Structure 1
Amino acid sequence: MRTVDVARESGYSVQQVRDLERLGVIPPAVRADNGYRSYTLLHVHALRAYRGLAAAVGPVEARRLLAELRTATITEAASAVDEVHARLARERAEVLRAQRALEGVRAEEEGRDDDFMTITQLAEALGVRSSTLRFWEEEGLVLPERVTTLRARRYGPAAIGAARVVVALRAGGYGIPAVREVMGSLDGLDGVEDARRILRGRLERLAARSVALLRAGTDLSAVVDATRGTPGSPE
């Protein structure tokens, strides 16, 4: 196959095919005596697999995975792909956990009482360090009340609920700026709904990544089979 043929079949441009070959995404093409590249169906499968992997885990990780799949055993290759699926499942579970925590905040606001917790008590309840709560305070994520005479922190129901959301979001892989966006939305008139929207968007993006990985499945299998001489593999 010519470069233009591979580009047409894979959906990439001619220059992108050359660039991805240079980056090691696909095996080096055979060079004819006249210097022209000669590709096979394996290169098409590798490029299509890369597209799906890049959408699922990012281009850098996709390049690493493809290189690994071309040299790993069948067991190792299957394990590497399974780990990507498992990673997406873990991220999805954590976002769902954040959603549940958000609903818990709303329920606590509706049934709020006068209970307060010290920083030590809250840290123990959340399974984090007191220094973590202080850091979140500095970042404006969880704001305690203070006992004026002792300057000791105390957390009311609203702060406790907010801290639970922060724990869930951080466990779900959200960076501080993203957490700040969610927590900031809680202060608005439609705060809870805004936060729900942010989390729904994250779930939609995760779904798109999972679908991209599923679409890449056939091409990934072809790459793994071809590099091991499996009968029926593309040549």
Structure 2
Amino acid sequence: MRPTDLARRHGISTQAVRNYEADGCLPPAARTPSGYRIYTEAHAAALDAYLALVRAYGHAIGGRIMNALHAGALDAALTAVDRGHAQSLRDRETLDAVRGAVEHLLEHPPEHPGAATGARTVGELAHRLQVTRATLRNWEAAGILAPARDPATGHRAYGPEDVRDAELAHLLRRGGYPLDRIAEVVRQIRTAGGTRALAATLEGWEARLTARRLAMLDAAARLGRYLERLPLQP
């Protein structure tokens, strides 16, 4: 096949085909006596696998996997695939934890509704929630709270959003949630703009995760077909 044939077959430009070869995502092409590239069905399978890997893992990881294969490093390539699946599982577990926490928050809103005004000291916030100062510092170390510091004294100053996050953390801790999951929930709530806004985004989040997992299955199948053409040993 000519570069144009391979490009047309995969719906990309001929320059993209050349770039992928130069980047090691395709095996080197043979050349005619006049210097023109000659691609084979093996190159088509490689390109098919690479484009599927990009859809599943992104350009960087997809390129890393293909380069490892072409360097004869099968174990490194498969390890990259394994890490992608492991990250997908962690993402799924995080989504489930966030969904459960959001449902808990919607059913049991914080005891102090509404935004607090002004900044609070660590002692004032601890008294408000009936927790120790050490508890608030632990939440800060876990990434749940991020209070500003008073420029004059250097003491922590908890603003309205910090108070809200502390109340959410307090509620979820009583619900049995570990600190790392609470930190993720708080981060998602900050990004979404509130608990109800986050609840509305969960369906889209799940759809994206499902699409990625299906893309990984497709990439694995195409990568397997390409591996059948390579003389690699595990």
Q: TM-score, normalised by structure 2?
A: 0.71
Structure 2 partner of 1:150: none
Structure 2 partner of 1:168: 181
Q: Tell whether the 8 Å contact from 2:129 to 2:170 is kept in structure 1 after alignment.
A: no
Q: CA deviation digits over 1:30-85, x for unaligned, max 9?
A: 11111110011121122122222112221111111111233456555444323322
Are 1:181 and 2:195 counterparts?
A: no
Structure 1 partner of 2:135: 121
Structure 2 partner of 1:59: 59
Aligned sequence identity (%): 28
Q: Tell whether the 8 Å contact from 2:54 to 2:62 is kept in structure 1 after alignment.
A: yes
In the aligned structure 2, how far is the partner of 1:16 from the partner of 1:69? 20
- Cα RMSD between the aligned structures? 3.5
SS of residue in 2 equivalent to 1:117: coil
In the aligned structure 1, how far is the partner of 2:54 from the partner of 2:160? 33
Q: How does 1:213-228 map to 2 (within 5 A)?
A: 213-228=216-231
Structure 2 partner of 1:144: 163
Amino acid at match of 2:190: R
In the aligned structure 2, how far is the partner of 1:90 from the partner of 1:80? 15
In the aligned structure 1, how far is the partner of 2:31 from the partner of 2:159? 59
Q: Tell whether the 8 Å contact from 2:65 to 2:78 is kept in structure 1 after alignment.
A: no
Aligned in 2, Cα 1:229/1:79: closer, same or farther, shift over 3 Å?
closer
Q: Tell whether the 8 Å contact from 1:133 to 1:142 is kept in structure 2 after alignment.
A: no
Aligned length: 206
Structure with the greater relative contact order (CA < 8 A, sep ≥ 6): 1 or 2?
A: 1
In the aligned structure 1, how far is the partner of 2:24 from the partner of 2:189? 36
Aligned in 2, Cα 1:107/1:203: closer, same or farther, shift over 3 Å?
same
SS of residue in 2 equivalent to 1:66: helix
Q: CA deviation digits over 1:166-197, x for unaligned, max 9?
A: 9537558x9x6x65222x233xxxxx1x2122
Runs of 5+ unmatched residues, structure 2? 113-127, 149-157
Q: Tell whether the 8 Å contact from 2:56 to 2:219 is kept in structure 1 after alignment.
A: no
Structure 2 partner of 1:93: 93
Q: 194, 211, 215: which one pairs with 1:212?
A: 215
Q: Tell whether the 8 Å contact from 1:95 to 1:203 is kept in structure 2 after alignment.
A: yes
Amino acid at match of 1:197: A
Runs of 5+ unmatched residues, structure 1? 146-153, 187-191, 231-235
Q: Tell whether the 8 Å contact from 1:123 to 1:133 is kept in structure 2 after alignment.
A: no
Amino acid at match of 2:130: F
